[in-house]
Amino acid sequence: MTVTIEAWRITGQSQIDSYVGRWVELAVLLVNELAVTQARGRPVELPAARPAYPSAGPSAGPSAGPSAGPSAGPSAGRRVALEAAFARSAWTPAPPPGPGPSRSGSDTVPHLGRTGAAGSASGDSAVGIGRALTDEEADRLADLAAELHPAFTGASGAIATLNQCLVRHAAVPSLHGDPPRLAFHRPEADRVDAWAADAATSLAMVIGVGQGLRLRSCEANGCDLVFFDVTRNASRRFCGLPCQNRAKASAYRARRRG
């Protein structure tokens, strides 16, 4: 009798895909929040260049938060922006409880429209990521965002930069927890090194299997937001519908003029 075992039952491909999608999603969130200076046709300030939260008053809006005062420095600004990003995206380092598509496949990208100051997550911890970020962690994550950004743009030296990131954060396959789960950081790694190792490894896995074109930067004018293209034929060109509609309108106007 011949017994056939499907390949995915041996390799756990769905779990591998979930792992890659989850950590590429983190890379997208960090780059869009900490390294992009124009989004959806508008310039945006990096968190380090603006106050940690707007002054109190009716105009402060729901994004205002108590995490840092108006005199806080750039580190606090980054931290508050990241806490808001994690809270709104609901990203978590933990694997999902059951099978399901990654949020990276949606027609939106993690970016908070940084035209004003971002607030912090309420409470003592950012939603989904455990304890609240520190200013020092926020600064290190900003450095990580700069390291990961070239992987999405195809900039010269992107592969060398990613390789350096893997080495710097000691990316190594390791089993964690009970039951054991595969991850790519040392068991003793701190949170930033662990996130960096897992995110960089996931980008390397996408590139290493010939799918680097799925790590994309929006093609619309005035937008540098990045995204992970999970369409079947890797045909996605824009970060979302607003930029797609802007590009269509621009092309239509060009045809009318021509």
pLDDT of residue 72: 60
Task: Please give the DSSP secondary-structure letter assigned to residue 96.
Answer: P
Instruction: Please state the domain extents for the chain.
Output: 7-94+106-257
How far from chain centre, in Å, is Cα 234? 19
pLDDT of residue 254: 77
pLDDT in tens, the chain (258 residues): 565 555 545 566 777 888 899 999 999 999 999 999 999 999 999 987 665 544 333 333 333 344 444 446 789 999 999 999 999 999 998 876 654 444 444 444 554 444 332 233 333 344 468 889 999 999 999 999 999 999 999 999 999 999 999 999 999 999 988 888 889 999 999 999 999 999 999 999 999 999 999 999 999 999 999 999 999 999 999 999 999 999 888 877 877 786
pLDDT of residue 129: 87
Asked if the peptide bond before residue 97 counts as cis, ω within 30 degrees of 0, the response is no
pLDDT of residue 258: 67
Which two three-digit tokens encode residue 119? 């607030």
pLDDT of residue 203: 98
CB burial of residue 159 (10 Å; 0-12, 13-18, 19+) = middle
pLDDT of residue 105: 44
Q: Are 110 and 33 in contact (CB under 8 A)?
A: yes
Task: Please give the DSSP secondary-structure letter assigned to residue 134.
Answer: P
Alpha helices in the chain (DSSP H): 7-11, 13-34, 74-89, 135-153, 158-168, 191-208, 241-257
pLDDT of residue 51: 57
Measured CA to CA, the distance from residue 157 to residue 13 in angstroms comes to: 30
Q: Are 173 and 121 in contact (CB under 8 A)?
A: no
pTM: 0.79
Q: pLDDT digit string (tens) for 141-154? A: 999 999 999 999 99
CATH superfamily, domain 7-94+106-257, is: Jann2411-like domain (1.10.3300.10)
Which two three-digit tokens encode residue 95? 């694997």
How many CB atoms are closer than 10 A to CB 195?
A: 23
pLDDT of residue 94: 80
